């Protein structure tokens, strides 16, 4: 697979603007006034970045604080001013903008949620809202922006980049549904939280010899369901990407497994399929097996981030600032094939992602 980052770094290198350190991470040798267009060509950036803004948008995700902390401290290290924009694009339009220093991000790496707060903002989906957002950035001297959020937030970042604000996006969502990256901030914590909760439901399910349907988050994507399904040893794993809506098949399996002596039946159902409560009623009526539905809900979004989320979010935050200061704009930071890389935001948003066939086949095989 082509490594866009390395190619672009090479472009920069050829222009003798920067070099690498031994670990292949950018080492800035001096400030550069260049940015990169869609084809990776060098374009003139309007002016050098002095002030970097940072915001979190969409659903909060554990590890966002680690990313904010890394953005702030790396930017300060580069000699930039830092402004925190509260409540995502809503706060940008309302000018809820604060100065940040190294102390503003002390004692937050271990905390869930986001200290900058987050929001959803329909006004920002309009051309007027986006234009106003870009004007407010200019008014506050924000000439570089780091957006931490999911693919909806990326679309907002893309619009700001097209309006001339140098913008870098970092994937922050528990759903893992961003195509260009194998890692998104918060997924690891969320999936561990859900796994522990499902283990607990399993104990009571076994004691009562029940069937339990546990619904996990993920919006339209089934990654949390797939990972928990495998990690919790579920008997059925229902993913929006694969579910054939054949409930009779599930009912037959429950009856068959009872005959084989199984004392419980765990169904991990993805939010994208939903309807867990009515499914439970139908399954109980058809099988005679007591069935309960548990919707895990927002507990999956909270809690102290795992080591992985703190670590990856920290690297991504630093990386975003490094490439911004190196003259890149309109990029998405990603983790691919064991490396931190960055993609053009238009290309990243056009990419498609699906459940891995092999992982899905294994999940089916192991649930029998």
Q: Which string of x and - marks every residue 299-318 that binds ligand ADP (by CB under 6 A)?
A: --------------------
Residue 175 catalytic? yes
Asked if 271 interacts with ligand F6P (CB under 6 A), we say yes
Asked if 120 interacts with ligand ADP (CB under 6 A), we say yes
Residues forming a β-bridge with 291: 211
Cα 148 to Cα 55, 172, 295, distances in angstroms: 6, 6, 27
Q: Active-site residue among 175, 236, 309, 342?
A: 175
The single-letter DSSP state of residue 185 is: B
Q: Which of 45, 49, 134, 217 binds ligand F6P (CB under 6 A)?
A: 217
Rg of the chain over all Cα atoms, to the nearest angstrom: 23
Is 57 or 232 the residue whose CB approaches ligand ADP more closely? Answer: 57
Query: Which tokens hold the place of 306?
Result: 């795992």
For 154, the enclosing helix (H) or strand (E) is helix 151-162
Nearest Cα to 344, choosing from 168, 171, 110, 186?
Answer: 168
* Stretch binding ligand F6P (CB under 6 A), from 110-118, 211-219, 260-268, 311-319: 211-219
Q: Whole-angstrom distance between the N-terminal and C-terminal Cα of the chain?
A: 35
Q: Between residue 39 and residue 68, which ones bind ligand F6P under the rule CB under 6 A? A: 59
258 binds, among ligand ADP, ligand F6P, none (CB under 5 to 8 A by kind): none
Asked if 159 interacts with ligand ADP (CB under 6 A), we say yes
Asked if 112 interacts with ligand F6P (CB under 6 A), we say no
Sheet containing 97-100: order of strands: 97-100, 81-85, 51-56, 144-149, 166-171, 331-336, 339-344
CA distance 138 to 134: 6
222 binds, among ligand F6P, ligand ADP, none (CB under 5 to 8 A by kind): none
Q: Which string of x and - marks every residue 173-202 that binds ligand ADP (by CB under 6 A)?
A: x-----------------------------
The single-letter DSSP state of residue 364 is: H
CA distance 249 to 111: 43
Q: How far is the CB of 204 from ligand ADP (least distance, A)?
A: 32
Q: How far is the CB of 90 from ligand ADP (least distance, A)?
A: 7
60-72 b/e (C-beta count within 10 Å ≥ 16 → b): bbbbbbbbbbbbb
Task: Count interface residues toward ligand ADP (CB under 6 A).
Answer: 17
Is 225 or 325 the residue whose CB approaches ligand ADP more closely? Answer: 225
Cα 77 to Cα 54, 70, 145, distances in angstroms: 15, 10, 16
Q: Which of 64, 66, 82, 175 binds ligand F6P (CB under 6 A)?
A: 175
Contact, 191 vs 173, CB < 8 A?
A: no
Is 144 or 222 the residue whose CB approaches ligand F6P more closely? Answer: 222
Q: Between residue 42 and residue 71, which ones bind ligand ADP under the rule CB under 6 A? A: 57-59
* 187-207 vs 223-231: helix crossing angle, rounded to 10: 50
Q: How far is the CB of 99 from ligand ADP (least distance, A)?
A: 24
Q: Which of 121, 190, 191, 213 binds ligand ADP (CB under 6 A)?
A: 121
- Contact residues for ligand ADP (CB under 6 A)? 57-59, 89, 120-121, 124-125, 149-153, 155-156, 159, 173
- Contact residues for ligand F6P (CB under 6 A)? 59, 150, 173-175, 217-219, 271, 301
Q: Which residues are catalytic?
A: 175
């Amino acid at each position: 697979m082509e490594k866009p980052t390395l190619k672009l770094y090479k472009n920069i290198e050829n222009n003798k603007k920067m070099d690498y350190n031994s670990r292949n991470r950018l080492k800035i040798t001096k400030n550069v006034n260049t940015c990169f267009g869609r084809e990776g060509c060098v374009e003139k950036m309007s002016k050098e970045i002095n002030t970097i803004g940072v915001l979190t948008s969409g659903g909060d995700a554990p590890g966002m604080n680690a990313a904010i902390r890394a953005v702030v401290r790396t930017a300060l290290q580069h000699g930039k001013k830092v402004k925190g924009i509260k409540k995502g694009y809503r706060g940008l339009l309302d000018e809820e903008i604060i100065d940040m220093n190294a102390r503003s991000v002390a004692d937050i790496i271990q905390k869930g949620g986001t200290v900058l707060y987050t929001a959803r903002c329909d006004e920002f989906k309009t051309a007027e809202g986006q234009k106003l957002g870009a004007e407010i950035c200019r008014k506050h001297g924000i000439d570089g922006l780091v957006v931490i959020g999911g693919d909806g937030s990326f679309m907002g970042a893309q619009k700001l980049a097209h309006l001339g604000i140098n913008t870098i996006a970092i994937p922050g969502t528990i759903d893992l549904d961003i195509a260009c990256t194998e890692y998104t901030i918060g997924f690891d914590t969320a999936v561990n939280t859900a796994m522990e909760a499902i283990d607990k439901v399993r104990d009571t399910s076994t004691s009562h010899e029940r069937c339990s349907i546990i619904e996990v988050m993920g919006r339209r994507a089934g990654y949390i369901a797939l990972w928990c399904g495998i990690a919790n040893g579920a008997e059925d794993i229902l993913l929006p990407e694969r579910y054939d809506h054949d409930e009779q098949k599930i009912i037959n399996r429950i009856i068959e497994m009872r005959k084989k002596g199984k004392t419980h039946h765990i169904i991990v159902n993805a939010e994208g399929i939903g309807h867990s409560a009515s499914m439970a009623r139908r399954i109980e009526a058809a099988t005679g097996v007591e069935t309960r539905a548990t919707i895990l809900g927002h507990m999956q979004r909270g809690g102290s981030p795992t080591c992985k989320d703190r670590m990856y979010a920290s690297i991504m935050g630093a990386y975003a600032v490094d490439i911004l200061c190196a003259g890149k704009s309109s990029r998405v930071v990603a983790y691919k094939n064991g490396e931190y890389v960055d993609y053009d935001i238009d290309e990243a948003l056009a990419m498609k992602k699906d459940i891995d066939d092999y992982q899905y086949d294994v999940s089916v095989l192991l649930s029998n």
